A = this chain, B = another copy of it.
Amino acid sequence: MTQVSITDIAAAAGVSASTVSRALQDNPRISPARRDEIKALAAQMGYRPSQVARSLVTGCTHTLGVVVTDVTDPFVAEVMKAAEAASRTAGYTLLFASSDRDPERELEAIRLLLDRQVDGLIVVSGRAGPRYAEIRSAAGATPATWPLVLVNNEQAGPGIYSVQVDNRAGAIRAITYLKALGHRRIAFVAGPERGRSSRERLEGYRQGLAANGLELRNAQVVGGAGLLEDGPRALAALMGLAEPPTAVLCYNDLAAIGLLAAAAHAGMKVPAELSVIGYDNIPLSAYSVPPLTTIDQPKAEMGRLSVAMCLQALDGQPVSNVTLEGQLILRESTTQLSSGV
């Protein structure tokens, strides 16, 4: 026994398929008696409408595509979770694809999802730079078709929207706080090179230094990728310096937690000997040892908003980009610079 279709019900009820279709949609042109009868029959026969057939005719799949760099990143997961909840309550389902941080794969994933006729797309922490507009026009998209919303990123273009946090401001806040604690040599562990948020946070770091009258030393910014593994490498590089920093701002919490682990392993006291600040405020940051001072990103809000914006655009409404503020969460990985150092 295969799926029961609308014509099966029509046959059973002795009416036409169109009547069944209309009855199930509560079309007023169907008499209430028939409607109830048909609905009862449908329920009894366990009818479930085929979304694919419906999509074919309506041209709308009620599906949003979400492509991420890596689900394994707690920031990404948190955004996805909220996006899933929001889309579900709106009657949408999520098609999921992962790019593994490869811009090529990211674009490929977008194309794949478009082939599946997603109504809109959400890209979390995308790395495809200016190529979104290109792929959009290549797909023959008018400004009104399949909105693309970029989370934690920003690119101009018709039908391309973004929701992000003010990365620069967050970093500046962190630096200012560290300066107030007496720190003068503050390092930075950078994020993935292609990421827009990486650049912005680095920029914020620089501006923060300048605004606080602190000197920027190139050796104090070390490369990274926003991963746990960054921590040990970064710590080694930083501690090898003639004048090691007394505080460090990391691209994200993952790198910061990696740094914490490396410090503990090296027998270095945090925050006594080194203050550490992360970025994102992932749930784990409250449970690191010591608990991590960090800059919050309203991840759930971002996820929720990303689908809201998608839906709004689909609805033909004007949608404006949003950039939220991320506040500094004070925990125990930062402290006053002891006078001795």
Contacts and interface: CB of A to CB of B under 8 A. Distances in A.
Interface of A: 1-4, 46, 48-53, 55-56, 61, 63, 66, 70-72, 74, 77-78, 80-81, 84-85, 88, 93-98, 100, 111-117, 138-140, 142, 228, 231, 257-258, 260-261, 264-265, 283-284, 286-291
Closest 10 CB pairs of A and B: A289-B289, A96-B96, A261-B287, A264-B289, A71-B77, A84-B98, A94-B96, A72-B77, A52-B55, A51-B116
The complex is assembled from copies of this chain, and their number is 2
Contact of A72 (B81, B88, B95): B81
A288 to B, nearest CB: 7
A228 B286 CA distance: 9
Contacts of A114: 48
Contacts of A52: 52, 55-56, 61, 116-117
Contact of A97 (B51, B77, B84): B84
Given A3-B140, A4-B140, A88-B97, 8 more contacts: A56-B56, A70-B81, A72-B283, A74-B74, A84-B97, A95-B95, A284-B284, A288-B288
Contact of A53 (B2, B56, B284): B56
10 contacts: A1-B142, A48-B111, A48-B114, A71-B84, A93-B95, A93-B113, A96-B96, A261-B286, A261-B288, A288-B288
